[in-house]
Structure 1
């Protein structure tokens, strides 16, 4: 693990105080995005369609997960709030540092984190809105791309989906646990293998 973060401050659940300055931008309230009274009588399927259509092609990314999935992510992120997520590129991959501050997930470039530590600015912030969790069983997810020059819409969508999967699927979450709790057992190759990314020559 420490090889990945060499040059930056260590990031584990036990040393969370070192990254306390890495914080989310103030998110918009859900009601400022989606008037809740207009979807009071809508079906869950209609809400999903409306939410994703609103964010399509706007320099934003979106998703909808169910209440149980959100509860799993939130529970696991409390004890394992950090991870490194690689994205496949034409020539290799680029890695991003993830910090969970539920209901938010924050991402910055791993190289930026190595150089700037807690002063590194997020490239992407994900907000999970739970206002419809009880009435419709839905949690709405909105991703704001802070630096479009560093992260495209397509990359942001992949980053969101991959990160959710590592908290939701037991086999993948075991790798997140090693990163946070058992650094001696963590192998970045396991992450690459899980995502079918070649480590290169």
Structure 2
């Protein structure tokens, strides 16, 4: 693990400890009905994010606060009806790391495209055909994942990674969220569990490694990505979730996501991990 990643994780650890100091309750009332509504609000996955704002609203406008409690119940029911299979998790920070299990890092060798495919046979192929061949090549390879992207998208990722090499991603788990940290190093990007670093420091294993192959960048306007992951830590769906988040932050035009990326790298003391959880939850809402 690089010195830069160790420094970033150490800094983030202190930030997370401070940010966990979330008010246990916003409302105190002898009314059983109001108490029930308040408990229902606090069970919402969005409560943590907006706790301070709701406290301010309660003090400034009690009537509006009571109205919000009523609205929350109807919104919660609407979300439940929109997707009955979704389970709303509380915002807990969880760990799947076994402190007694030896660390085993994923080490993806730096590969040339010629080591995997006969590049000379790709001359007459379109970018779309090559991307499909790349997908099929990795289809039945357990522990591997692949992707393809326009050269322009990779150029933007490269540019962002050069100035903001490290970032944090929440991965939904059964009991809440687990955080993973990524570190770019040239054409490679490595992920590790935050909890693994907290327990093992420099010995924390990489659980997901990515390498970008840009040999077709000029001729086809295409960059291929290959990843290898520890199947004891994450599965293919969870890896895809992490990669989707990486793309959202490093290839984004969203000013808020770019602000979070910049803030994490340049001003970590002002960074709030709950903003990332909110982004994940809001992304879900946008798809329902």
Tell me the TM-score normalized by structure 1.
0.83
SS in 1 for 2:168: strand
| Deviation for aligned residue 1:194 | 1.0
Partners of 1:97 and 1:113 within 8 A in 2: no
The alignment of Structure 1 onto Structure 2 pairs a total of residues equal to 182
Residue number among 197, 207, 223 corresponding to 1:139 in the alignment: 223
Query: Partners of 2:160 and 2:169 in 1: how far apart?
Result: 16
**Pairwise CA RMSD:** 2.2
Partners of 2:108 and 2:227 within 8 A in 1: no
More helix by share: 2
Residue 181 of structure 1 is matched in structure 2 by 266
Partners of 1:128 and 1:142 within 8 A in 2: yes
Residue number among 147, 170, 175 corresponding to 1:63 in the alignment: 147
Partners of 2:11 and 2:268 within 8 A in 1: no
Query: Partners of 2:163 and 2:12 in 1: how far apart?
Result: 20
Q: C-alpha deviations, 1:6-42, integer Å up to 9, x for none? A: 49xxxxxxxxxxxxxx996432222111221111110
Residue number among 161, 168, 178 corresponding to 1:84 in the alignment: 168
| Deviation for aligned residue 1:174 | 1.6
Q: C-alpha deviations, 1:56-75, integer Å up to 9, x for none? A: 23121111111111111111
Partners of 1:76 and 1:167 within 8 A in 2: yes
Residue 192 of structure 1 is matched in structure 2 by 277
| Deviation for aligned residue 1:142 | 0.6
Residue number among 6, 13, 21 corresponding to 1:5 in the alignment: 13
Residue 13 of structure 1 is matched in structure 2 by none
| Deviation for aligned residue 1:2 | 6.2
Higher relative contact order (CA 8 A, sep 6+): 1
Gap regions ≥5 residues in structure 2? 1-8, 16-104, 283-288
Partners of 1:108 and 1:121 within 8 A in 2: yes
Query: Partners of 2:276 and 2:243 in 1: how far apart?
Result: 16
Worse overlay, 66-75 or 115-124: 115-124
Q: C-alpha deviations, 1:95-129, integer Å up to 9, x for none? A: 11111112111001110112223321210101111
Q: Is 1:96 matched with 2:96? A: no
Gap regions ≥5 residues in structure 1? 8-21
